[in-house]
Chain A
Amino acid sequence: MRDNQTGVTAFFKEDQKAAEAVRQVRDSGWTLADVYGPIPSEAISAALSLKKSPVGWFTLAGGILGFFSGYLLAMFTAGRWDLIVSGKPVLAVIPFFIVGFEFTVLFSVFGNVVGMILSMRLPAYRDLPGYKTPGSGEDFTVVVACGESEQSDVQAFFSERGARIAQDQ
């Protein structure tokens, strides 16, 4: 007979204990569905073997685009009227650097935000399975997907490691 799939949600007070549990779950053969936390944690990130985020590439692309946009905008507008103002050359390289710099920062930040939103796949308003709101601000939450027959074993595994198990499970 087919074993129905279910999940066990365990709440930890300390990230080190959650990270240790994550490592053991990954070694055990159970399916690690998700890990949530109120703060970033190096221990949990290491346990999940998370790689460095690619957001920086978006930021860099934005910055390069911004620098040239700002510089070229200033050169283009100056070139429309060949008027010498305050003795500066029409295409004044040094003053235009300021415009280029501000646009660099502005477009880098746009790239940063776009990269972050795309990488995190936000906004996401669907209800996520396994996401238990009561622990959102306080606990490090580990969700394991397992068959119904394994549920009590998984619960016992987490309880032994000091976790609190979600009440509806």
Chain B
Amino acid sequence: MDKLTFAEIDNTVVNTLEPPARMYWTIVALLFAGVLVGAACWAYQIAVGIGAGGQNNPVNWGTYLINFVFWVGIAHSGTLISAILYLLRAGWRNPIARAAETMTVFAVLTAGLFPFIHLGRVWMVYYMLPVPNQRTLWPNFQSPLMFDVVAISTYLTVSVLFWYTGLVPDLAIVRDRASGVRKKIFRVLSLGWTGKYEQWRHYSRAYLLFAALATPLVISVHSVVSWDFALGVVPGWHTTIFAPYFVAGAIHSGLAMVLTLMIPLRRIFHYERIITDTVLERVAQTIVFTGLIVGFAYATEQFIAWYSQNSVEMETFRFRAFGTYALEFWIMVICNSLVPLLFFFKRFRTSIFWLFGISILINIGMWYERFVIIIGSVAHDFLPHAWGYYRPTWVEYGIMIGSFCLFFFLFFLFVKHLPSVSMTEMKEKIHEEGAHAG
């Protein structure tokens, strides 16, 4: 196969920004309708109260928290790919880094909605901001929920700035090829970037520092999310394994979502020479690694519950595996830790059909993981007379559908209006390969 050239990369990516077909706008309109469904359900909940959802004693954290943790998790592998693998100089990340970073930004945006939704009286959100309210009360930064506010808003801000910084050289390429109003828009967006080496000197340094800062941030953010649970004295939650367990799970789910997004993207935009089979295979191999960590965490939780001989812990984990939510538990175990093992076999990790199918199953499994952790523990904690069950209502389903539609709606808009592959990083990759080839 011929080697990619700089010109071919530019042409392939810039061609994706051509005016879209009617089918594209039809899909965008359908997704927007889904967003409106979610917005209508939320409006209904605001009007009638938080009781419109299924959360009630003892399960006061339902799908809103499940979806919050799910979307924060999805965000994490974007930063893994854009920052951690950048520091490790893993060349295979370059073709998918932009789309993964974008996934991060939109996933955090979507996740960030759920604490607002879960508040019920959403106008009370200012209680979480570091300003005194009308009774001169300040937020209490000893609470893990306040850690979460700080961590998620930092993560969103850093992700957006990192994403935009990476976009600047590519926006300049689009500007140089555009005309009319489009040229004016991209001229403003690209900030006057010319690619002068004086600019590259500062840009490269700043980008490296961005990656170095994003790496501990991403680990801290999902650790903080896990402490929302682990700092509560609830069986199944109050454990030191939660931070690494959540971080590994987050990357596991995010990598699966990367495959779910990349496979159609490369097909629709003819990115086969950029997002090659090898790139997808590398993602699959990383999924095997994260899947093993997640499987190990599931086994450790069960083992520690037995090893502690604490009757409440033992009952909680028995209930998870064989109680009311046993089906959800086994979906979680099979989809997250057993199905990914198929990627040990080259046949599965080189087949687009299996890559896509398994990625969907992991997404489902990871959603259920959050269901099992959140619902399974509070539904069945210390006192048998306080046990209860939880079932989401149509309002929660509507909001959940709305959140998925919002994520894909934003992603669909992105891929046709901004470069979905980092042209600059692709060029760096083939330049390095050329240099190594001598």
The chain A residues found within 8 Å of chain B, CB to CB, are 15, 34-41, 44-45, 48, 50-53, 55-56, 59, 70, 73-74, 76-78, 80-81, 85-86, 88, 92, 95-96, 98-99, 101-103, 105-106, 108-109, 112-113, 115-116, 119-120, 122-126, 128, 131, 133-134, 136-139, 141
Contact A120 B150 (CB under 8 A): no
- With a cutoff of 8 Å between Cβ atoms, the chain A residues found around residue B165 in the complex are 113, 116
B195 proximal to A (CB < 8 A): yes
B196 proximal to A (CB < 8 A): yes
Assembled-state Cα–Cα distance A105/B33 (Å): 37
- With a cutoff of 8 Å between Cβ atoms, the chain B residues found around residue A38 in the complex are 6, 169, 173, 195, 423-424, 427
CB distance from B84 to the nearest CB of A (A): 15
B310 proximal to A (CB < 8 A): no
Q: Which residue of A lies closest to B218 (CB)?
A: A105
Q: Which residue of B lies closest to A105 (CB)?
A: B217
Contact B137 A37 (CB under 8 A): no
- With a cutoff of 8 Å between Cβ atoms, the chain B residues found around residue A86 in the complex are 142
Assembled-state Cα–Cα distance A99/B146 (Å): 9
Assembled-state Cα–Cα distance A154/B201 (Å): 27
Contact A98 B195 (CB under 8 A): no
Q: Select one of A59, A76, A120, A124 contacting B203, CB under 8 A.
A: A120
CB distance from A71 to the nearest CB of B (A): 10
B22 proximal to A (CB < 8 A): no
B238 proximal to A (CB < 8 A): no
Contact A85 B142 (CB under 8 A): yes
Q: Select one of B6, B157, B192, B202 contacting A119, CB under 8 A.
A: B202
Instruction: State which residues 145-199 of B face A: CB under 8 Å.
Output: 146-147, 150-151, 154, 157-158, 161-162, 165, 169, 172-173, 176-177, 187-188, 191-199
Instruction: State which residues 341-361 of B face A: CB under 8 Å.
Output: none
Q: Select one of A37, A80, A124 contacting B195, CB under 8 A.
A: A37
- With a cutoff of 8 Å between Cβ atoms, the chain A residues found around residue B209 in the complex are 55-56, 59, 108, 112
Assembled-state Cα–Cα distance A85/B220 (Å): 24
Besides A80-B136, A122-B193, 9 more A-B contacts (Cβ < 8 Å) are A38-B423, A40-B204, A77-B130, A98-B147, A99-B147, A109-B210, A116-B165, A136-B173, A136-B195
B277 proximal to A (CB < 8 A): no
Of residues B173, B188, B192, which shows the largest number of chain A Cβ atoms within 10 Å of its Cβ?
Answer: B192
Assembled-state Cα–Cα distance A39/B173 (Å): 12
User: Can you report 24 A-B residue pairs in the complex whose CB atoms are below 8 A from each other?
Assistant: A38-B169, A41-B200, A50-B198, A52-B205, A53-B202, A53-B206, A56-B209, A74-B141, A78-B140, A78-B141, A98-B220, A102-B150, A102-B217, A102-B224, A108-B209, A109-B157, A109-B161, A115-B206, A116-B165, A116-B206, A120-B203, A125-B187, A137-B176, A138-B7
Contact A123 B192 (CB under 8 A): yes
Contact B142 A92 (CB under 8 A): yes
Given A74-B141, A77-B140, A106-B154, decide whether A55 and B198 contact each other with a Cβ distance below 8 A: no
